[in-house]
Protein backbone atom coordinates (compact mmCIF):
# COMPACT_ATOMS: atom_id res chain seq x y z
CA UNK A 1 0.00 0.00 0.00
CA UNK A 2 1.28 3.43 -0.92
CA UNK A 3 0.52 6.29 1.35
CA UNK A 4 0.20 9.67 -0.33
CA UNK A 5 0.93 12.78 1.61
CA UNK A 6 -0.62 15.94 0.22
CA UNK A 7 0.63 19.38 0.84
CA UNK A 8 -1.78 21.88 2.28
CA UNK A 9 -2.03 23.62 -1.10
CA UNK A 10 -2.86 20.37 -2.87
CA UNK A 11 -5.40 19.50 -0.19
CA UNK A 12 -7.10 22.87 -0.73
CA UNK A 13 -7.23 22.26 -4.51
CA UNK A 14 -8.74 18.80 -4.00
CA UNK A 15 -11.37 20.24 -1.63
CA UNK A 16 -12.26 22.99 -4.15
CA UNK A 17 -12.59 20.39 -6.93
CA UNK A 18 -14.81 18.19 -4.72
CA UNK A 19 -17.07 21.17 -4.01
CA UNK A 20 -17.21 21.98 -7.72
CA UNK A 21 -18.08 18.39 -8.60
CA UNK A 22 -20.79 18.36 -5.92
CA UNK A 23 -22.46 21.36 -7.62
CA UNK A 24 -22.72 19.71 -11.06
CA UNK A 25 -25.91 17.69 -10.39
CA UNK A 26 -27.68 20.86 -9.23
CA UNK A 27 -26.50 22.79 -12.28
CA UNK A 28 -27.63 20.05 -14.64
CA UNK A 29 -30.98 19.67 -12.87
CA UNK A 30 -31.92 23.36 -13.24
CA UNK A 31 -34.56 22.68 -15.90
CA UNK A 32 -36.38 25.99 -15.39
CA UNK A 33 -33.29 27.99 -16.25
CA UNK A 34 -32.46 25.76 -19.23
CA UNK A 35 -36.03 26.02 -20.50
CA UNK A 36 -36.14 29.80 -20.15
CA UNK A 37 -32.69 30.50 -21.57
CA UNK A 38 -32.53 27.93 -24.39
CA UNK A 39 -35.76 26.09 -25.13
CA UNK A 40 -38.28 28.96 -24.93
CA UNK A 41 -36.30 31.29 -27.23
CA UNK A 42 -35.81 28.43 -29.68
CA UNK A 43 -39.54 27.63 -29.71
CA UNK A 44 -40.49 31.30 -30.12
CA UNK A 45 -38.21 31.57 -33.17
CA UNK A 46 -39.48 28.25 -34.52
CA UNK A 47 -43.12 29.35 -34.11
CA UNK A 48 -42.47 32.59 -35.98
CA UNK A 49 -40.86 30.68 -38.84
CA UNK A 50 -43.78 28.24 -38.84
CA UNK A 51 -46.29 31.06 -39.29
CA UNK A 52 -44.15 32.82 -41.89
CA UNK A 53 -43.86 29.61 -43.94
CA UNK A 54 -47.40 28.24 -43.35
CA UNK A 55 -45.94 25.24 -41.56
CA UNK A 56 -43.31 24.36 -44.18
CA UNK A 57 -40.46 25.28 -41.84
CA UNK A 58 -41.39 22.36 -39.57
CA UNK A 59 -41.65 19.94 -42.48
CA UNK A 60 -45.43 19.74 -42.70
CA UNK A 61 -47.00 22.62 -44.67
CA UNK A 62 -50.48 23.55 -43.51
CA UNK A 63 -53.35 22.59 -45.75
CA UNK A 64 -54.49 25.66 -47.76
CA UNK A 65 -58.21 25.33 -46.92
CA UNK A 66 -58.71 22.38 -49.27
CA UNK A 67 -62.26 21.12 -48.92
CA UNK A 68 -63.38 24.31 -47.18
CA UNK A 69 -64.75 26.45 -50.03
CA UNK A 70 -67.01 28.64 -47.88
CA UNK A 71 -64.31 29.24 -45.27
CA UNK A 72 -61.74 29.89 -48.01
CA UNK A 73 -64.06 32.48 -49.64
CA UNK A 74 -64.64 34.19 -46.28
CA UNK A 75 -60.86 34.39 -45.61
CA UNK A 76 -60.19 35.77 -49.08
CA UNK A 77 -62.94 38.40 -48.74
CA UNK A 78 -61.88 39.43 -45.23
CA UNK A 79 -58.12 39.57 -45.78
CA UNK A 80 -57.53 39.67 -49.49
CA UNK A 81 -55.12 36.74 -49.31
CA UNK A 82 -55.12 33.07 -48.37
CA UNK A 83 -52.17 32.86 -45.98
CA UNK A 84 -53.02 29.87 -43.81
CA UNK A 85 -53.69 30.52 -40.09
CA UNK A 86 -52.87 34.20 -40.41
CA UNK A 87 -54.93 37.28 -39.69
CA UNK A 88 -54.89 40.79 -41.05
CA UNK A 89 -51.56 42.60 -40.67
CA UNK A 90 -51.44 43.94 -37.14
CA UNK A 91 -54.32 41.70 -36.05
CA UNK A 92 -52.99 38.18 -35.74
CA UNK A 93 -54.00 36.83 -32.32
CA UNK A 94 -53.20 33.21 -33.17
CA UNK A 95 -49.67 33.93 -34.33
CA UNK A 96 -49.06 36.45 -31.55
CA UNK A 97 -50.18 33.97 -28.91
CA UNK A 98 -47.39 31.66 -30.07
CA UNK A 99 -44.57 34.13 -30.80
CA UNK A 100 -45.09 36.87 -28.20
CA UNK A 101 -44.31 35.79 -24.62
CA UNK A 102 -46.25 38.75 -23.20
CA UNK A 103 -49.44 37.89 -25.12
CA UNK A 104 -52.19 36.97 -22.64
CA UNK A 105 -52.81 33.64 -24.41
CA UNK A 106 -49.15 32.63 -24.72
CA UNK A 107 -48.36 29.55 -22.68
CA UNK A 108 -44.94 28.35 -21.59
CA UNK A 109 -44.25 26.31 -18.49
CA UNK A 110 -41.88 23.71 -17.11
CA UNK A 111 -43.29 21.04 -14.84
CA UNK A 112 -41.16 18.13 -13.62
CA UNK A 113 -38.87 18.47 -16.62
CA UNK A 114 -41.69 18.63 -19.18
CA UNK A 115 -41.94 21.80 -21.26
CA UNK A 116 -45.34 23.06 -22.37
CA UNK A 117 -45.50 25.63 -25.15
CA UNK A 118 -48.44 27.01 -27.08
CA UNK A 119 -51.56 29.08 -26.91
CA UNK A 120 -54.65 29.05 -24.72
CA UNK A 121 -56.91 30.37 -27.49
CA UNK A 122 -60.00 28.15 -27.49
CA UNK A 123 -59.85 27.22 -31.19
CA UNK A 124 -56.22 25.99 -31.24
CA UNK A 125 -57.21 22.40 -30.48
CA UNK A 126 -59.59 22.31 -33.45
CA UNK A 127 -56.91 23.77 -35.71
CA UNK A 128 -54.36 21.18 -34.64
CA UNK A 129 -56.64 18.15 -34.70
CA UNK A 130 -59.01 19.21 -37.48
CA UNK A 131 -62.77 19.11 -37.30
CA UNK A 132 -65.69 21.20 -38.43
CA UNK A 133 -65.35 24.89 -39.13
CA UNK A 134 -68.15 27.38 -38.53
CA UNK A 135 -69.65 26.49 -41.94
CA UNK A 136 -69.84 22.77 -41.17
CA UNK A 137 -66.99 22.00 -43.56
CA UNK A 138 -64.32 19.49 -42.55
CA UNK A 139 -61.09 21.29 -41.74
CA UNK A 140 -57.95 19.19 -42.06
CA UNK A 141 -55.51 19.12 -39.13
CA UNK A 142 -52.88 21.86 -39.17
CA UNK A 143 -50.38 21.02 -36.41
CA UNK A 144 -48.72 24.31 -35.58
CA UNK A 145 -45.44 23.32 -33.93
CA UNK A 146 -44.19 20.39 -36.02
CA UNK A 147 -40.42 19.98 -36.25
CA UNK A 148 -38.14 18.15 -38.61
CA UNK A 149 -35.61 15.64 -37.28
CA UNK A 150 -32.87 18.19 -38.03
CA UNK A 151 -34.67 20.83 -35.94
CA UNK A 152 -35.08 18.42 -33.02
CA UNK A 153 -31.39 17.54 -33.34
CA UNK A 154 -30.48 21.24 -33.36
CA UNK A 155 -32.50 21.87 -30.21
CA UNK A 156 -30.87 18.84 -28.53
CA UNK A 157 -27.45 20.16 -29.55
CA UNK A 158 -28.24 23.58 -28.07
CA UNK A 159 -29.40 21.96 -24.83
CA UNK A 160 -26.16 19.95 -24.71
CA UNK A 161 -24.02 23.03 -25.32
CA UNK A 162 -25.88 24.90 -22.60
CA UNK A 163 -25.37 22.10 -20.09
CA UNK A 164 -21.70 21.83 -21.06
CA UNK A 165 -21.26 25.57 -20.51
CA UNK A 166 -22.96 25.30 -17.11
CA UNK A 167 -20.56 22.54 -16.04
CA UNK A 168 -17.57 24.47 -17.34
CA UNK A 169 -18.71 27.53 -15.38
CA UNK A 170 -18.67 25.46 -12.19
CA UNK A 171 -15.34 23.82 -12.99
CA UNK A 172 -13.00 26.48 -14.37
pLDDT digits over 61-91, tens only?
Answer: 999 998 899 999 999 998 888 999 998 888 8
* CA distances to 36, 48, 66, 141, 147 from 70, in Å: 42, 28, 10, 17, 30
**H/E segment holding residue 110:** strand 106-111
Do residues 123 and 95 lie in contact, with contact meaning Cβ atoms separated by under 8 Å?
Answer: no
Cβ contacts of residue 94 below 8 Å, gap of 6+?
85, 86, 87, 119, 121, 124, 127
Statement: the pTM of the whole predicted model exceeds 0.85: no
pLDDT digits over 113-123, tens only?
Answer: 788 999 999 99
**H/E segment holding residue 130:** none
* CA distances to 41, 91, 163 from 156, in Å: 14, 34, 11
Amino acid sequence: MIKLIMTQGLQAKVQRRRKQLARIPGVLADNDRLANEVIHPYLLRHARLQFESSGAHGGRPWDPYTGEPRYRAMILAARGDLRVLRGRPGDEPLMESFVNPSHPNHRFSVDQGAVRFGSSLPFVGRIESGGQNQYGEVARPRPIMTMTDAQRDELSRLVGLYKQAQVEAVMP
